[in-house]
Protein backbone atom coordinates (compact mmCIF):
# COMPACT_ATOMS: atom_id res chain seq x y z
CA UNK A 1 0.00 0.00 0.00
CA UNK A 2 2.78 2.41 0.92
CA UNK A 3 4.73 1.91 -2.31
CA UNK A 4 2.03 1.12 -4.86
CA UNK A 5 2.77 -0.65 -8.15
CA UNK A 6 4.65 2.31 -9.70
CA UNK A 7 7.27 2.39 -6.93
CA UNK A 8 7.85 -1.34 -6.55
CA UNK A 9 11.29 -0.82 -8.12
CA UNK A 10 12.25 1.18 -5.02
CA UNK A 11 11.24 -1.62 -2.64
CA UNK A 12 14.84 -2.59 -1.74
CA UNK A 13 15.81 1.05 -1.16
CA UNK A 14 12.86 1.61 1.18
CA UNK A 15 13.52 -1.61 3.10
CA UNK A 16 17.25 -0.85 3.42
CA UNK A 17 17.03 2.79 4.50
CA UNK A 18 13.46 3.24 5.81
CA UNK A 19 13.79 1.37 9.11
CA UNK A 20 11.90 2.84 12.04
CA UNK A 21 11.17 6.01 10.07
CA UNK A 22 8.93 4.03 7.72
CA UNK A 23 7.37 1.42 10.02
CA UNK A 24 5.41 1.93 13.23
CA UNK A 25 6.97 0.64 16.44
CA UNK A 26 6.02 0.61 20.11
CA UNK A 27 7.57 3.19 22.39
CA UNK A 28 10.22 1.59 24.61
CA UNK A 29 10.62 2.27 28.36
CA UNK A 30 13.36 4.85 27.85
CA UNK A 31 11.19 6.67 25.31
CA UNK A 32 8.26 6.72 27.73
CA UNK A 33 10.49 8.14 30.48
CA UNK A 34 11.82 10.82 28.14
CA UNK A 35 8.26 11.72 27.14
CA UNK A 36 7.18 12.08 30.77
CA UNK A 37 10.24 14.22 31.57
CA UNK A 38 9.44 16.39 28.53
CA UNK A 39 5.88 16.91 29.78
CA UNK A 40 7.22 18.04 33.18
CA UNK A 41 9.59 20.53 31.53
CA UNK A 42 6.83 21.85 29.24
CA UNK A 43 4.59 22.47 32.25
CA UNK A 44 7.27 24.36 34.15
CA UNK A 45 8.89 27.81 33.90
CA UNK A 46 12.08 26.00 32.88
CA UNK A 47 10.91 25.67 29.27
CA UNK A 48 11.22 29.36 28.28
CA UNK A 49 14.61 29.55 30.01
CA UNK A 50 15.92 26.50 28.11
CA UNK A 51 14.47 27.74 24.82
CA UNK A 52 16.16 31.11 25.33
CA UNK A 53 19.50 29.46 26.09
CA UNK A 54 19.19 27.25 23.01
CA UNK A 55 18.46 30.32 20.84
CA UNK A 56 21.57 32.02 22.28
CA UNK A 57 23.67 28.96 21.43
CA UNK A 58 22.23 28.80 17.91
CA UNK A 59 22.98 32.50 17.38
CA UNK A 60 26.56 32.02 18.60
CA UNK A 61 27.12 29.06 16.28
CA UNK A 62 25.54 30.95 13.35
CA UNK A 63 27.84 33.93 14.00
CA UNK A 64 30.88 31.64 13.74
CA UNK A 65 29.85 29.28 10.93
CA UNK A 66 27.25 30.14 8.33
CA UNK A 67 24.94 27.38 7.12
CA UNK A 68 21.72 27.24 5.13
CA UNK A 69 19.95 26.88 8.49
CA UNK A 70 21.44 30.04 10.02
CA UNK A 71 18.73 32.00 11.80
CA UNK A 72 16.38 29.01 12.18
CA UNK A 73 15.11 27.97 15.62
CA UNK A 74 15.66 24.33 14.61
CA UNK A 75 18.64 23.03 16.60
CA UNK A 76 20.37 21.10 13.81
CA UNK A 77 22.85 22.67 11.42
CA UNK A 78 24.44 21.11 8.33
CA UNK A 79 27.96 22.14 7.41
CA UNK A 80 28.19 21.15 3.74
CA UNK A 81 31.57 19.77 2.69
CA UNK A 82 30.83 18.01 -0.60
CA UNK A 83 32.48 14.62 -0.77
CA UNK A 84 31.63 11.70 1.51
CA UNK A 85 35.30 10.97 2.17
CA UNK A 86 36.01 14.58 3.18
CA UNK A 87 32.98 14.61 5.52
CA UNK A 88 34.06 11.36 7.19
CA UNK A 89 37.64 12.62 7.47
CA UNK A 90 36.56 15.93 9.02
CA UNK A 91 34.29 14.15 11.50
CA UNK A 92 37.17 11.89 12.54
CA UNK A 93 39.57 14.80 13.02
CA UNK A 94 37.04 16.65 15.16
CA UNK A 95 36.33 13.49 17.20
CA UNK A 96 40.05 13.07 17.90
CA UNK A 97 39.94 16.55 19.48
CA UNK A 98 37.06 15.62 21.81
CA UNK A 99 33.88 16.60 19.94
CA UNK A 100 31.41 14.37 18.14
CA UNK A 101 29.64 15.43 14.98
CA UNK A 102 28.25 12.89 12.56
CA UNK A 103 29.12 12.89 8.89
CA UNK A 104 26.02 12.68 6.69
CA UNK A 105 25.82 11.68 3.07
CA UNK A 106 23.48 10.10 0.54
CA UNK A 107 20.74 8.96 1.12
CA UNK A 108 20.43 11.33 4.13
CA UNK A 109 21.35 14.29 1.91
CA UNK A 110 21.57 14.60 -1.86
CA UNK A 111 24.67 13.31 -3.63
CA UNK A 112 27.55 15.75 -3.59
CA UNK A 113 26.27 17.56 -0.48
CA UNK A 114 27.88 15.42 2.22
CA UNK A 115 28.77 17.26 5.38
CA UNK A 116 28.69 17.46 9.14
CA UNK A 117 25.44 17.28 11.10
CA UNK A 118 25.75 19.59 14.10
CA UNK A 119 23.18 19.19 16.88
CA UNK A 120 23.19 22.08 19.34
CA UNK A 121 21.60 21.99 22.80
CA UNK A 122 20.65 24.48 25.50
CA UNK A 123 23.31 23.06 27.84
CA UNK A 124 26.23 23.59 25.44
CA UNK A 125 28.69 26.04 26.97
CA UNK A 126 29.62 29.05 24.80
CA UNK A 127 33.34 28.26 25.13
CA UNK A 128 32.69 24.72 23.87
CA UNK A 129 30.74 26.06 20.88
CA UNK A 130 33.61 28.42 20.03
CA UNK A 131 36.20 25.62 20.34
CA UNK A 132 34.06 23.28 18.26
CA UNK A 133 33.68 25.90 15.52
CA UNK A 134 37.46 26.42 15.45
CA UNK A 135 37.93 22.65 15.03
CA UNK A 136 35.39 22.58 12.21
CA UNK A 137 37.19 25.43 10.47
CA UNK A 138 40.52 23.60 10.88
CA UNK A 139 39.09 20.33 9.51
CA UNK A 140 37.06 21.85 6.66
CA UNK A 141 37.82 24.60 4.20
CA UNK A 142 34.97 27.07 4.75
CA UNK A 143 34.40 30.23 2.72
Residue 26 pLDDT grade (very low, low, confident, very high; cuts 50, 70, 90)? confident
Q: What is the pLDDT of residues 43-86, one digit of tens each?
A: 999 999 999 999 999 999 999 999 999 999 999 999 999 899 99
Distance CA 112, CA 80 (A): 9
Distance CA 124, CA 116 (A): 18
Contact 116, 67 (CB under 8 A): no
Distance CA 26, CA 114 (A): 32
- Our measurement of the distance from residue 10's CA atom to the centroid of its chain's CA atoms, rounded to an integer in Å, reads 26
Q: What is the pLDDT of residues 100-143, one digit of tens each?
A: 999 999 999 999 999 999 999 999 999 999 999 999 999 987 64
Record the pTM. 0.73
Amino acid sequence: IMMGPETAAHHDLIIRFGGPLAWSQHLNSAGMGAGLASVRIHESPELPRLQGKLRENLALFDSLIGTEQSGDDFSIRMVVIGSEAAAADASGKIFERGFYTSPVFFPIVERGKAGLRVMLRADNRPEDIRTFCELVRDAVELD
